[in-house]
């Protein structure tokens, strides 16, 4: 998985987060929502964190499917995601910037 550490975030962009239910990823989602981004994300299992994000305006998916990244401007991935995850592969095929969670904190 090639990552893009030079991607510039601009309010209004659609950012999809893979593993959105985790503590670090849900925190990123809340910051993005608060700054006017469109946020979607997926996780293997829905949780209280994903319910809160959905109530705040995020689109949440249970499980991983390639079509869930449709319309996204970038993909942020948790460190727990495998490189062959279908959403990562779809983002690579689509030419989307892919940022690791740790890289995102620096952008």
Domain annotation covers residue 44:
yes
Domain annotation covers residue 51:
yes
pTM recorded for the entire structure: 0.92
Please, what is the Cα angle at 57 between 14 and 107, to 5 degrees? 40
Domain annotation covers residue 10:
no
From CA 61, how far away is CA 44, in angstroms rounded?
A: 9
Number of domains forming the structure of the chain: 1
26: domain range? 16-104
Domain annotation covers residue 37:
yes
Give the pLDDT score at 102: 79
Sign of CA dihedral 101, 44, 81, 6: negative
Domain annotation covers residue 70:
yes
CATH code, domain with 60: 3.40.50.720
Domain annotation covers residue 6:
no
Give the tens place of pLDDT for each residue, 31-90.
999 999 999 999 999 999 999 999 999 999 999 999 999 999 999 999 889 999 999 999
Beta strands in 1-107 (DSSP E): 14-18, 38-43, 59-62, 74-77, 98-100
Joined tokens for residue 69? 């990244």
Domain annotation covers residue 74:
yes
Domain annotation covers residue 72:
yes
């Amino acid at each position: 998985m090639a990552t893009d550490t030079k991607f510039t975030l601009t309010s209004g962009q659609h950012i999809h987060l893979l593993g959105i239910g985790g503590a670090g990823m849900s925190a990123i989602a809340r910051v993005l929502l608060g700054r006017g981004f469109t946020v979607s994300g997926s996780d293997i299992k829905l949780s209280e964190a994903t319910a809160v994000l959905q109530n705040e305006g995020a689109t949440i998916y249970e499980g991983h499917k390639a079509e869930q990244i449709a319309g996204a401007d970038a993909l942020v991935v948790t460190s727990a995601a495998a490189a062959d995850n279908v959403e990562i592969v779809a983002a690579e095929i689509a030419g989307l910037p892919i940022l690791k969670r740790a890289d995102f904190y620096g952008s």
